[in-house]
Structure 1
Amino acid sequence: MSRLDRPFRFVTEHNLVVLLLMLLVSAGVVVGIGQLQTQSQMNGSSAVGDTEVAQAMEYIQANYGTSESESNATSVSPAPVYVRSDGNALSKAALLDSLEFQQRALDNESVAAALGDREPFGVANLIATRAAGDPGASLDEQVAALESASASEVESLVAETLTEGSQATALVPNDYEPGTASAESHRMLFRFESADAGEAAAERRTAATATLYDLADDREGPDYFTLGEHAIAESNANFNQQTMQLIVPVALLAILAVLAFAYRDLVDVVVGFTGVVLSVLWMFGILGWMGIPAGFTLIIGPVLIVGLSVDYGLHVFMRYREERGEAEDIREPMARGLSSVAVALGLVTLTAAVGFMSNITNEFAIIKQLSIGITLGVVSTFVVSLTFVPALKVTVDRLLERVGFDRAKRPLGKTRLLEPFLTGGVRLAKRAAPVVIVLALVAGSAGAVAWTDLDRQSVQQDTDGIAEWKQNLPGPLGWETSEYDAYADYVDAHYRAADEDARSSSQVLLEGDVTSPSALAAVETVRDSAGEQAEVFQRAGTVPLRSPLSVMESVAAENDEFAATFAEADTDGDGVPDRNVEGVYDALYAAAPEEASQVVERTDGEYRSLRVVVPIDGDATIAQQADAMQAVSGSVSAEGVDAIAAGVGTLNEAELSQTTDSILTTLIVALAAVGVLLTLVYRVATGSAALGVVTSVPIVLVTALVVGGMYLLSIPLTLLTSLLLSLVIGLGIDYNIHVSDRFAQELERGQTVTGALRTAVTGTGGALLGSTLTSVGAFSALLLHPHPQITSFGTLVVLALSLSFVVAVFVLPSLLLLWANHGSPDAVRSESPTRDRPAAQD
């Protein structure tokens, strides 16, 4: 009896005791789920601030003042309500309807409390007050005045109000023709307290915007809609509901279908799936008890642990089926099977934990937390799969056999259809092992080279909407387009931000000799370059950016003393001072210190940097923003002046670059750690350190092939896909360890090299095939999802698991054959035609 037999005989012989103990332990562990911290740690990176861009943003926040409009924005922030009509949204009837909407809104206590003494502001109000002849007319007076005006009078009032250059044109679409009385839509603004004005103000604003959302949703006639937090929340809820209704059932159906194929037994499917669920619950329960935030583990954790748990269960069940002889009781073969797979599963758990925990060195908090969560899940799966699952299997099978059901089943890899397929790798190894290895290494090298050519994005944004074929899927499989997305696209295309300061913007920080004329020439270069970028917002053909020059121009228009200083410093009349620049800054601070502090940094009387704020078009993706702003900052070539683009796009780009470097380091560390670990373990277990090296080589190959697959399938390198790349090691090493360990076991049992290879790829390989098909089927369901980030996630995992299986079954046998022929004298000496037979039973 081996040392491993004793604990596993206890599991099988005292199965009811084990079940009871495991249920009690599970109950205690699962209680921890109630303490689980579910908040996302996406922005919890300790690496932020290490990049030049992040440091520039922090510098701007610490050293630049806030404009009056920005200060006001902290106390008052408009909540727009849009009105769209199939006819004319500026007709008398449509404008009256807007005023009636405002009346209903003001009757609500929440809206009135959040507004305070501020009135709603919109096109209807401007026209109605003009009709009443009193700018201070109350809402009731506005309604009365508009009702008494004729339709033609209203048209005249519209044309007189919405004139060229009027601020009122911000309330109608960008394509509105000033002076006309027709538009497809308009908007009204409810100037509520800002959520930044305190907790009480935030609560009042939330209640008020919820009322506006409900009123708009109930309105008939013209189409009323809002795009605030409540619209977003409902859109997300609908999106998640569609995901649950489509993706989850398809994934579960795929898992159950493949498990039914692999087990060909309903009872085993149920028993195995019970272990899967328990493993996931253990992972989250332990996280809860340890007080570790779940973060991204909530999304990726269950998916990966389900795959590993299915894999562990298949190995336990298939080895039990192989071990059980005719007329043999259940307990003894289950104990032998567990002791046979325990070493492989233990190695898989250990190496997977090393692969995952190598991410603990990563600078990003989200990756650290994910590595801990997945590692706990792997350990939980190992414990559950070797205790609870076999105990439950023994209990159920013994009960069924007592009532007359035969529970002896054939392992998957030994079936007539699959055995020839699985032994293909052995046939290749016998005929041309060196050729197989060389071809695999060439393919892997090509994949590794593709690393530098991968498309890099901080996140994948859904710019194309839901593909038409996904909308046209039959019945409940079809995705419904989001009403919110349609409204948001319309507003982005037809309106500028309701509060211009709220518009998405980026910045350029100019440092160096900022008192030289070349510094202001650099500001002019930034303005010219920004106008050439399609991603930069423009109004009437110009970019409304805020810079030292734009502030100087606006102050000069109102302050004669500064205007004289400004003109005197501009010797060539191009609007850019080319002498006495420091004197111009002094005069600007003297005339308008608040405005000057927004664009020119003065610390301890010394001018140290300049700031240019560039508005970004609402349609620009994060990657497009980064490219545009890097082009803008890159256009500056002034001597003694450095330009850094600092915004959402460039920050994400910088962090992605840092993440990429970090992931590459993590991959190398993990591969080295796993290689050393396997070398030591196999040296002790089999007397051959070389077998550990041979087992490690395929995971390097799989990682390189996955990178090549990403390149061929145009999967970008994002934060999410980078995370998954680092997890490929933990997933892929599983397959190789099982095949190598089974091969070594069969050699010890007295089989020849060829016989041992054949048994390994049909017995263990059959379980690997079932595991691969299960995981691939589940993750393939994600390809139905409309968001590219999710489909990339699904595609990458399918790619990694499929390649891991192919390499383990069709490439690893060639490596093992060469190892046996040249690195293991004991294995070579065991080669004998008379011993080329199936493994002896214990």
Structure 2
Amino acid sequence: MPAKLDYQRFIDAADGWITGRPGTVVLVFFVLTAGFAVGLPSVSTESGTEQFSEEVPAEQALQDVNDKFSDPFAPDEGSTQLIQREENVLSKQGLLRMLRVQERMADDPDMRVVSTESAARIVARQLDPSAATLEEEIDAVERATPSEIRVAVGTLARENPGFASLLSDDFNPTAAYASATVGIVRHEVPTGISSGSGQGGASPLEPIQLEAVYVADAAGGDIVVFGSGVISQEFGTVIGDSLLIVVPAAVFFIILFLVVAYRDLVDLVLGTLALGMAIIWTFGFMGFAGIAFSQILIAVPPLLLAVGIDFGIHAINRYREERLVEDDPVRAMRTTTDQLLVAFFIVTATTVIGFSSNLVSGLLPIREFGVVAAIGIVFTFLVFGVFLPALKLYTDDLRERYPIPTLSQSPIGSEGSSLGGVLSVGVSLAKRIPVLLLLVAVVSSGYAAYYASGIDTSFSQEQFLPPEETADFYDVLPEPFKPGEYTITATINFLEDNFESSEDDETVIFVEGPMERNSALESMWKAGEDPPDTFVRDGRHARETSIVTVILAYQERDPAFDALVARNDRNANGIPDQNLDEVYDYLFTSPARGQTLEYLTEDRRNARVVYAVKADESDADVTDDTRAVAERYRMGATATGSIVVFKAISDIIFESAIVSLGLAIAGTAAFLVFIYWVLEGRATLGIANLVPIVVTVAFVAGSMRYLGFSLNAFTATVLAMTIGLGIDYSVHLTHRYIDERELQPTVLSALSRTVYGTGGALLGSVLTTMFGIGVLVLSVFPAIGDFGLIAALSVFYAFVASLVVLPSALVVWERLFGAGGVDAATPGADRSGGVSGPTTTTD
């Protein structure tokens, strides 16, 4: 046997505290829990896509664009949409309803209204051109007859192109009919509105728009208030509703399995208390660390509950088994913790490696998920590895002194059971065809991994939206668990279905350089010639909006400006190519100043160019073509815009998933090799331990593609997480096998005892983990439900691979690196042990 490092002194020290001073240990943990509870009120929520785009270079460029190309002296403004429907909005009653809602909002100083606009206001001013206020416009509509309103609507339809854009697609100017309209209310806000591509973050418009909801409701009719504040508020509500459903459901299933596993009220309370403590520690840490609770972190509580129950079952069950042969509870617990702390440590370390691999992600929320999950697993190890054994020993001492009822203290699982026969199928295969089984596992895993290479990667606003309609089963939930009604998705779909939108999308290029250089405008315009296929064309040129198009348009409105441009246009193409500072000076002092500032900064150092792109083109093609056009610019140019930002995030998600998976596998392999060298002096045992988890990852990835799942902001963490959670089963089996190999005469008898002894506990563990994580399918967010389903599937695969593949891997490992043949007796082993006598030991 190769030499092993002496680690036992550390285990003995922990054993000494747990069994020698259980009351002190329990008190210390309660004090720590109270300390972490202080951080709970500091936990905030964050939602939507904005959090994922914060550190993406294209997003930072887009924010620079939006910040720079606006009037720096203008107050920050945000807008509220008033969506009126379910009636003829052009009837007298419909027009008055919209006008009165806008009037009430404008009269409320808390709503900070700067301006309002609507089809109703346009009609009122057509009826009475002298009307200058909402009150006067209301009077104009009240005085008008239905026929006068029809005439006004018909005139506006012919003469005002912008009028129809505020009305639904079924607008009939002859009948003066439309089933829906959109009114706009602009507000001055005390803090800035997000200037990026994301949505869902905290919005200063939230209190304003919530007040607007009350105003609209008081006016009667069906007027829906929509805007960033409503989105922010509803995203926060959905997170709370999801937690209110998912966490109790996870607790319910876990307690159900605890009842079956423990069959004792006191032990049930102890296990539940430990679970609650792990959650409090984790959320308290988030509060102290300033990590906001986001949609992706909804998965953390079920994960911790699932892992915690796994540890709890092993700890309580192993102690009960030791009590069958040891009357002294202290010695029984010392034996329990002496063995379990090692297994728990290995499981915790590998799980932390799996979660921590997400720290390489370029997206902050995924990194935060990795940090919170890893810290939570460490807390779970401490609570269930140290606190729960000490509390169990302390309460058992109280049972002996006081009449505390004890229902059952018998362990679960025994050799010779029908369940053990089913679970030992992997041992039977290892006895007959271990090499062939490993070859089949390698080939099938390779094919699954190759098949998974075609999995899609996506990132979109829709993945963060609540469903338009919740599933029917939510209706049977009692309050307060029953979720509310969500309007965001329904409102967005209504706008898309009923209002004309631009047939084209947009992409943006942010230009940095001296815009007064003579060639600046010519080179900018030339970059749009012969555009890529995804760009919309106007002849041979891309359809663009820029400072060049502002100049071309203003020439037609101002003869003096036209003459100025002509004097400085040497090639007579309408684009000035000398004395550009004079041209810009004229624009900045003209009525076109506002429009100029949208495309050129006042210091003439930056420009914004907006290109129209075809709506049916893929984000990947649009992004590639936008970057290609940006490379045509002689000055510094950055491709940006929402399409480019979301594609960049999608690329980062894919890269993060692959890199974190590679790091998780490499880190876990290195740790297992090291830890088995430390514990057993056999480093190669770590490689055998890793075989089933590699098989699991390949099959999980292949199943994701087969079932139609994509790698997105939520599922990108699943593959690395599979290693963290799935390694649990192979570690428990391998660690138990090491102990049995010292006692049994052959490898196969040791494997048989391993599976019979620990298989039952692992089955209970996999059921609680699957249900604990699987309850995420109940989340109001469909993306979180997908995450829960895939995570539960990965746990099941890991369990099956550990029972079926690991025995053959250990047999082959014994042939290559073991002390003797597979059927040879271990020197010094008790040959009378065989596989016949009963055993219930499990870790």
CA, structure 1 residues 779+33, in 2 after alignment: closer, same or farther (shift >3 Å)? same
How far apart, CA to CA, are the structure 1 residues paired with 2:832 and 2:572? 97
The answer as to 2:532 corresponding to 1:531 is no
| Map of 1:647 onto structure 2 | 641
The answer as to 2:554 corresponding to 1:555 is yes
Pick from 818, 823, 833: which aligns with 2:812? 818
Q: Is the 8 A contact 1:355 1:729 kept in 2?
A: yes
Deviates more, 1:211-220 or 1:651-660: 651-660
Query: What SS is found at the alignment partner of 2:453?
Result: helix
Pick from 678, 682, 689: which aligns with 1:695? 689
How far apart, CA to CA, are the structure 2 residues paired with 1:516 and 1:73? 27
| Map of 2:610 onto structure 1 | 613
Pick from 487, 507, 513: which aligns with 1:483? 487
How far apart, CA to CA, are the structure 1 residues paired with 2:621 and 2:414? 52
How far apart, CA to CA, are the structure 2 residues paired with 1:715 and 1:93? 49
Q: Deviations over 1:378-430 (max 9, x none)?
A: 22222211222123333445555775746332324658342112111111111
Offset, 1:742: 0.5
Q: Is the 8 A contact 1:459 1:719 kept in 2?
A: no
**Pairs within 5 Å for 1:357-368:** 357-368=356-367
Deviates more, 1:209-218 or 1:508-517: 508-517
Pick from 525, 532, 536: which aligns with 1:520? 525
Deviates more, 1:96-105 or 1:31-40: 31-40
| Map of 1:277 onto structure 2 | 276
How far apart, CA to CA, are the structure 1 residues paired with 2:838 and 2:820? 17
Q: Is the 8 A contact 1:210 1:230 kept in 2?
A: yes
Q: Is the 8 A contact 1:569 1:579 kept in 2?
A: no
The answer as to 2:472 corresponding to 1:471 is yes
CA, structure 1 residues 39+654, in 2 after alignment: closer, same or farther (shift >3 Å)? closer
Pick from 133, 147, 163: which aligns with 1:168? 163
| Map of 1:100 onto structure 2 | 100
CA, structure 1 residues 841+305, in 2 after alignment: closer, same or farther (shift >3 Å)? closer
Q: Deviations over 1:271-323 (max 9, x none)?
A: 22221211222233345556677767853432322222111112112322433
The answer as to 2:587 corresponding to 1:592 is yes
How far apart, CA to CA, are the structure 2 residues paired with 1:29 and 1:419? 42
Offset, 1:107: 4.6
Pick from 493, 497, 501: which aligns with 2:497? 493
How far apart, CA to CA, are the structure 2 residues paired with 1:204 and 1:394? 53
CA, structure 1 residues 351+204, in 2 after alignment: closer, same or farther (shift >3 Å)? closer
Query: What SS is found at the alignment partner of 1:324?
Result: helix
Query: What SS is found at the alignment partner of 1:456?
Result: coil
| Map of 2:322 onto structure 1 | 323
The answer as to 2:332 corresponding to 1:333 is yes
Q: Is the 8 A contact 2:90 2:177 kept in 1?
A: yes
| Map of 1:447 onto structure 2 | 448
Q: Deviations over 1:552-589 (max 9, x none)?
A: 43122123466578789999xxxx97698735967854
| Map of 1:800 onto structure 2 | 794
**Pairs within 5 Å for 1:731-750:** 731-750=725-744
| Map of 2:197 onto structure 1 | none
Task: Please tell me the residue identity of whatever aligns with 1:445.
Answer: G
Task: Please tell me the residue identity of whatever aligns with 2:214.
Answer: D
Offset, 1:57: 4.5
**Pairs within 5 Å for 1:66-215:** 66=69, 74-86=75-87, 88-111=88-111, 114-115=112-113, 120-132=116-128, 134-136=130-132, 138-178=133-173, 180-194=175-189, 196=191, 208-215=208-215
The answer as to 2:349 corresponding to 1:350 is yes
Q: Is the 8 A contact 1:467 1:786 kept in 2?
A: no
**Pairs within 5 Å for 1:293-442:** 298-325=297-324, 328=327, 330-397=329-396, 403=403, 405=406, 407-412=408-413, 414=415, 416-442=417-443
Offset, 1:90: 0.9
Query: What SS is found at the alignment partner of 2:316?
Result: helix
| Map of 1:27 onto structure 2 | 34
The answer as to 2:458 corresponding to 1:461 is no
Query: What SS is found at the alignment partner of 1:189?
Result: strand
CA, structure 1 residues 689+514, in 2 after alignment: closer, same or farther (shift >3 Å)? farther
CA, structure 1 residues 826+799, in 2 after alignment: closer, same or farther (shift >3 Å)? same
CA, structure 1 residues 515+798, in 2 after alignment: closer, same or farther (shift >3 Å)? same
Offset, 1:531: 3.5
| Map of 2:218 onto structure 1 | 218
How far apart, CA to CA, are the structure 1 residues paired with 2:369 and 2:144? 65
How far apart, CA to CA, are the structure 2 residues paired with 1:841 and 1:236? 50
Q: Is the 8 A contact 1:518 1:639 kept in 2?
A: yes
Query: What SS is found at the alignment partner of 2:158?
Result: coil
CA, structure 1 residues 188+690, in 2 after alignment: closer, same or farther (shift >3 Å)? closer
Pick from 815, 831, 834: which aligns with 1:836? 834
How far apart, CA to CA, are the structure 1 residues paired with 2:576 and 2:679? 77
Q: Is the 8 A contact 2:414 2:757 kept in 1?
A: yes
Offset, 1:125: 2.9
Task: Please tell me the residue identity of whatever aligns with 2:610.
Answer: V
**Pairs within 5 Å for 1:564-579:** none
How far apart, CA to CA, are the structure 2 residues paired with 1:840 and 1:783? 38
How far apart, CA to CA, are the structure 2 residues paired with 1:715 and 1:176? 40
Deviates more, 1:768-777 or 1:17-26: 17-26
Task: Please tell me the residue identity of whatever aligns with 1:338.
Answer: T
Q: Is the 8 A contact 2:547 2:599 kept in 1?
A: yes
Offset, 1:740: 0.7
Deviates more, 1:554-563 or 1:435-444: 554-563
How far apart, CA to CA, are the structure 2 residues paired with 1:250 and 1:37? 23
Pick from 629, 645, 650: which aligns with 1:656? 650
How far apart, CA to CA, are the structure 2 residues paired with 1:224 and 1:45? 32
Q: Deviations over 1:487-530 (max 9, x none)?
A: 33222333479xx9xx9953135799976978635425459844
How far apart, CA to CA, are the structure 2 residues paired with 1:204 and 1:339? 56
CA, structure 1 residues 235+518, in 2 after alignment: closer, same or farther (shift >3 Å)? closer
Query: What SS is found at the alignment partner of 2:609?
Result: strand
Deviates more, 1:686-695 or 1:248-257: 248-257
Q: Is the 8 A contact 1:772 1:805 kept in 2?
A: yes
How far apart, CA to CA, are the structure 2 residues paired with 1:651 and 1:586? 33
Offset, 1:263: 3.8
| Map of 1:538 onto structure 2 | none
Q: Deviations over 1:798-821 (max 9, x none)?
A: 122112111111111111112223
Q: Is the 8 A contact 1:461 1:788 kept in 2?
A: no
How far apart, CA to CA, are the structure 1 residues paired with 2:719 and 2:209? 42
Offset, 1:774: 0.9
| Map of 1:268 onto structure 2 | 267
How far apart, CA to CA, are the structure 2 residues paired with 1:262 and 1:71? 66
Q: Is the 8 A contact 2:358 2:366 kept in 1?
A: yes
What count of residue pairs does the alignment treat as equivalent? 805
**Pairs within 5 Å for 1:676-825:** 676-785=670-779, 787-825=781-819
Query: What SS is found at the alignment partner of 1:613?
Result: strand
How far apart, CA to CA, are the structure 1 residues paired with 2:522 and 2:27? 82
| Map of 2:258 onto structure 1 | 259
Q: Is the 8 A contact 1:74 1:196 kept in 2?
A: no
Offset, 1:797: 1.0
Task: Please tell me the residue identity of whatever aligns with 1:323.
Answer: E
How far apart, CA to CA, are the structure 2 residues paired with 1:689 and 1:76? 64
Give unmatched runs, 5+ long, in structure 1: 534-541
| Map of 1:231 onto structure 2 | 230
CA, structure 1 residues 85+163, in 2 after alignment: closer, same or farther (shift >3 Å)? farther
Q: Deviations over 1:118-168 (max 9, x none)?
A: 5x43333333344345243x4444333333332222222222234344433
Q: Is the 8 A contact 1:110 1:208 kept in 2?
A: yes
Deviates more, 1:438-447 or 1:225-234: 225-234
Deviates more, 1:555-564 or 1:692-701: 555-564
How far apart, CA to CA, are the structure 2 residues paired with 1:588 and 1:415? 93
Q: Is the 8 A contact 2:700 2:797 kept in 1?
A: yes
Offset, 1:645: 3.7
Q: TM-score, normalised by structure 1?
A: 0.82
Task: Please tell me the residue identity of whatever aligns with 1:488.
Answer: I
Task: Report sequence identity in percent.
Answer: 27
Query: What SS is found at the alignment partner of 1:191?
Result: strand
